[in-house]
Copies of this chain bind each other. A is one copy, B any other.
Amino acid sequence: MNINILQNKLKEGLNIIGRGSSKSTSLPILKNVLLKTYNNFLNLSATDLEIGIKWWTPVKVDKEGELTVPYNSFSSFINLLPNKKINLNIKNNNLLINCEDYKTQINGISAKEFPIIPKIKEKEKIIINSSFLSDSLLQIIDIPSLSKVKPEISGILFSFKEKELKLVATDSYRLAEKKISFKKNNKDDFSFIIPQRTAREVVNIFKEINKDVEIIFGENQILFRVKIEDTNEPYIELTSKVIEGNYPDYESIIPKKTKTKIILDKDDFLNRVKAASVFTSKVNEINLVFSPNEEEVIIKSNNKDLGNYETKIKGRAEGDELNISFNYRFLLDGLNNIKSSEIIFEASDENSPGVIKPVGKSDFLYVVMPIKN
């Protein structure tokens, strides 16, 4: 390999693929990045065998070649160089890096040792704006269960039906559903579950890019791909395993009808729940008293060692009086992910789930189990 590339461009690529490289020492090659020329492109790849990330950029290739070098050292070093032309040259499994007065050599490992990131067998493909997809994932990304007992709810469900994609996450105490409309009319309904970590990497990589991203579903695999503008050449590819198993029939637990309903200012309610949290005890319990007649909700908490707290918030209410308790953390997780300035809080009785929704939009839904007495 003998190529020239601007420092800024190489830094961008290393930044994008970096989160695919492994931190584990069990298989040292996974700590490396693969550099490879291909026609007039430089391709960088990193994988930890669960996910694989690839990045391409057009460069002038004087000599083809491929090599792997330790990601952390290579990336730290490139980051410290000035934004000038860098010459990358492979000699005897070493990468020679020349940039102005800097002359560096990094010992590499042959590209043959690097695992192949498997090619996907395309079954379905849809296209969504990458920033919009990332923002939507962020609304539900912290919800999945950490438990390994039920792997299917440790991930995020992507469920495609006609022109709608539903993103769903639950840990069995609460559930969040985000709806996205997209352009492509797909043939059949289909769904898959991606690991929470894959979702995080999708957000990290694609959030700032604001381009169309293709979501390609194949056998036990998912590929997120962005192409170089106005070409058919790939720019970034993120490949991941999907989680096997069936996602629970979550729609049946979303209450269809509720007896009490109140519309509240989101930030005001959020602040009063946060303040209540100071006075909760081990189960994080806060108590809500919905008073439709008074058009208000009283928020109470009590910790026998520390003290107690009470406040009230006015809202537009209808339905029955209700006294119900929640884990304040679960309420905050829902409220923090709603974008509207007002929210609708619905509930039926002290043993049935509450529902929190934005006012004026029907694209987000948060269902939360109460603390039963």
Contacts and interface: CB of A to CB of B under 8 A. Distances in A.
A32 to B, nearest CB: 12
B306 A102 contact: no
Task: Report the contact-size class of chain A (Cβ under 8 Å from the partner).
Answer: 20 to 34
A223 to B, nearest CB: 33
B80 A307 contact: no
A312 interface: yes
Nearest to A77: B278
Contacts of A107: 305-307
Interface in A85-140: 94-95, 101-107
Contact of A104 (B80, B95, B309): B309
A275 interface: yes
A210 interface: no
Interface of A: 70, 73, 76-77, 80-82, 94-95, 101-107, 271-272, 274-275, 278-279, 305-313
Nearest to A82: B271
B103 A307 contact: no
Q: A80, A305, A307: which has the most chain B beta carbons within 10 Å? A: A307
A371 to B, nearest CB: 21
Contacts of A103: 309-311
Given A73-B306, A104-B279, A107-B306, 13 more contacts: A70-B306, A73-B307, A77-B279, A77-B309, A80-B278, A81-B275, A101-B311, A101-B313, A102-B272, A105-B308, A105-B309, A107-B305, A107-B307
A305 B106 CA distance: 9
A309 B74 CA distance: 12
Nearest to A302: B105
Which of A73, A102, A107 has most chain B Cβ within 10 Å?
A: A102
A71 to B, nearest CB: 12
A144 to B, nearest CB: 28
A104 B77 CA distance: 55
Nearest to A74: B278
A308 B104 contact: yes
A278 B76 contact: yes
A77 B301 CA distance: 13
A187 to B, nearest CB: 51
A106 B311 CA distance: 15
A116 B104 CA distance: 61
Contacts of A82: 271
A142 B358 CA distance: 49
A136 to B, nearest CB: 29
Contacts of A95: 307
A310 B104 contact: yes
B275 A77 contact: yes
Given A80-B271, A94-B307, A307-B94, A73 B278 contact: yes
Contacts of A101: 311-313
B81 A307 contact: no
A266 B307 CA distance: 56
A46 to B, nearest CB: 18
Contact of A80 (B106, B275, B308): B275
A197 to B, nearest CB: 28
Contacts of A311: 101-103
A251 to B, nearest CB: 36
A309 B104 CA distance: 4
A107 B302 CA distance: 11
A81 B278 CA distance: 12
Nearest to A308: B105
Contacts of A80: 271, 274-275, 278
